[in-house]
Structure 1
Amino acid sequence: MTSILYTRGSTPLIASQVDPRLHYCLYVPQELPPQAPLVVIQHGTGRTAQKYRTAMREFAEERRVVILAPLFPAGLIDPDDVHNFKFIEYHGIRFDHMLLAIIDEVAARYPVATERFYLHGFSGGGQFTHRFLFLHPSRLAGASIGAPGRITQLDDSLPWWLGTKGFEDRFGQSIDLDAVRQVPVHMVVGSEDLDEFEINNPGESNWMDGCERTGRTRVERLRTLRRNFESRGIDVTFDVVDGVAHSGSAVLPAVQRFFGSLIGR
């Protein structure tokens, strides 16, 4: 009885079968249509997966969608590391593949549409989201990129991760730009997301010289990413949420409006 009880509503954290070091939690409405939409909310450095999942409950019930919040722990391999998933590959772990495997696990238990799903990430999750878009555009029904501290531009003259030079050698595939152009893209940041202490940190493991040229703040860097995308023919819905600093929860209403406009088309 207990196992049945916890398969609906807010689930516990669940260990992934593909790698038990990685976890996820869900919000599953009591009633689901066949092929219910799947919305993935990727956490940032603070790993607040359950917080994001809970904040999306009303949206899930209203839209009859399943919310998946992966949890990729800090301290994998290197106990001091907090950045692993943001750059897709870390010590042989491909976090894009891990997410797709977790989605397969969810699909084995629930009637969700996984061929194309919706992906939002904020801060470190925003880093993951736009890099995932480059690798798997055909899997995305929509991508919402929230306030990334570091961006990867579609520019083969810049080394990874500032740009996409050597992308195919690194990931074993090229970027299908035509497919990326087919994905509805949303970018969102708070107007007061202006602190620099975490994103201007030369010498740290998540720094590359040249990052400073993309802007001093997350607002400036997201505008740089928007310009880069639009110069490549990628349409962007851009939201600056007035009065909001670096808060993933505070920008979720804008994310919900964007995804809501796509679901059920």
Structure 2
Amino acid sequence: MQELAPGAASERARAIYDYGETAIFASAADPRFHFLLYVPPAAADGRKIDLLVAVHGTGRTSALEFRDGFAEFGLYNDCAVLCPIFPVGVRGDGARSGYKMMQEGDIRYDKVVLDMVAEIAAKYGQDWSTFAMFGYSGGGHFTHRFAILHPEKLWAASIGAPGSVTLLDPDRDWWIGVRDLAERFGKPFDPAALAKVPVHMVVGSLDLETWEITHKPGGAYYMDGANDAGETRPERLRSLQKSFEAAGVRVTFDEVPGVSHDRLKCIGRTKAFLTRVLKERRS
């Protein structure tokens, strides 16, 4: 069998591993964290494309499901898909949920994502100074809190079935409210910037189990008022909707009939929302 010349071998490897459904990469800024991508042919042709960041839930396996689940959307909408992977127990303590709250010890997960975006933007020669974000369950936690912290970085946000929500309450501290945002994260809440972001919220009408989302005294994230937004995921997401809309945010809300906590039965609503926003954005 004829061997490829070094240059041709390098190009073939790039086509296999760096485009389409890519390999899993370690973040250059912090190799404890990984990511995988879908990169459409348009990028290989040198065209400018958009970016969707899709954030996994607690099980982490949805990173692969979201990459593949959004691949067709990315192909037909000239949009790359970045799926970060935040491993369980990255600090050696077995913790599963630190990324959902943006900060865990010395780790700032919002900055981990921003570093990943900067890395791949440089690699593919793209301007991804703004991007869209979607997350479901644990990723829904991440997405709405990222939007609160960095609205200026988003051209859209789709928030799927978070177990707990941060309301835009200036009288309560993080993670329930935003009173101490500046002290905790180094930047104040900017409601005017958030109001410019088209926001989508999606949850199944039968997503009613509460065993995993009810905060109890002694829990890692328990605070007074931790359960005030509602008992179930639909109730809590409705509370988030009201809080965002009171701040001037335009929210598209999808409660999917007959669906429980099933991410793959909800992402079609996200694709429809993002397709509409992209059309408006590009026109």
How far 1:84 sits from its partner (Å)? 1.3
- Aligned partner of 1:23 in structure 2 is 34
- Determine helix, strand or coil for the equivalent of 1:174: coil
Report the alpha carbon displacement of residue 263 of structure 1 after superposing the two structures with TM: 1.1
Aligned amino acid, residue 12 of structure 1: A
Deviates more, 1:163-172 or 1:71-80: 71-80
Matches within 5 A, 1:22-61: 22-32=33-43, 34-48=47-61, 49-61=63-75
| Pairing 1:6–2:17 present | yes
Match status 1:83 vs 2:97: yes
- Code of the residue aligned with 2:38 in structure 1: it is Y
C-alpha distance in 2 between matches for 1:197 and 1:78: 25
Question: Shift of residue 204 of structure 1?
Answer: 2.2
Preserved CA contact (<8 Å) 2:38 2:82: yes
Q: Distance in 2 between matches of 1:111 and 1:247?
A: 35
Letter in 1 for 2:181: F
CA deviation map 1:113-150 (0-9, x unaligned): 31110000111111111111111111100011111101
The residue matched to 1:108 in structure 2 has which SS?
helix
- Aligned partner of 1:119 in structure 2 is 133
Deviation at 1:216?
A: 0.7
1:171 matched to which residue of 2? 185
Match of 2:81 in 1: 67
Matched, 1:137 2:151: yes
* Native 8 Å contact 1:38 1:113 kept in 2: no
Deviation, 1:254, is 0.3
* Matched residue type, 1:236: V
How far, CA to CA, are the matches of 1:209 and 1:52 in structure 2? 34
Secondary structure of 1:70's aligned partner: strand
- Mean Cα deviation higher: 181-190 or 204-213: 204-213
* Residue of structure 2 equivalent to 1:209: 224
Q: 1:248: which partner in 2?
A: 263
Q: How far has the Cα of 1:209 moved from its partner? A: 3.1
Q: Distance in 2 between matches of 1:200 and 1:27?
A: 35
Query: Cα offset for 1:80?
Result: 1.9
Q: Alpha-carbon deviations, 1:2-23, whole Å to 9, x = none?
A: 5312111111110000000000
Unpaired stretches in structure 1, ≥5 consecutive residues: none
| Corresponding residue for residue 199 of structure 1 | 213
Instruction: Determine what percentage of the aligned residue pairs are the same residue.
Output: 41
CA contact (8 A) 1:125 1:148 kept: yes
Q: Is the 8 A contact 1:66 1:112 kept in 2?
A: no
- More moved, 205-214 vs 144-153: 205-214
Structure-1 residue corresponding to 2:203: 189
**2:4: which partner in 1?**
none
C-alpha distance in 1 between matches for 2:124 and 2:242? 39
> What residue is the counterpart of 1:258 in the other structure?
273
Shift of residue 262, structure 1, vs aligned partner: 1.1
Per-residue CA deviations over 1:22-74 (Å, capped at 9, x if unaligned) read 00000111233622000110111111211110111111111121011000111
Residues 142-188 of structure 1, C-alpha deviations (whole Å, 9 max, x = no match)? 01111110110111111211111211110111011101000001111
- Please give the alpha-carbon distance, in whole angstroms, between the structure 2 residues aligned to 1:86 and 1:239: 22
Is the 1:83–1:206 Cα contact (8 Å) retained in structure 2? no
Whether 1:150 aligns to 2:164 is: yes
**TM-score with structure 2 length normalisation?**
0.90
Q: Name segments (4+ residues, structure 1) moved above 6 Å.
A: none
Higher alpha-carbon Rg: 2
Q: Any conservation in 1 of the 2:215–2:226 contact (CA below 8 Å)?
A: no
In 1, Cα distance between the equivalents of 2:203 and 2:222? 21
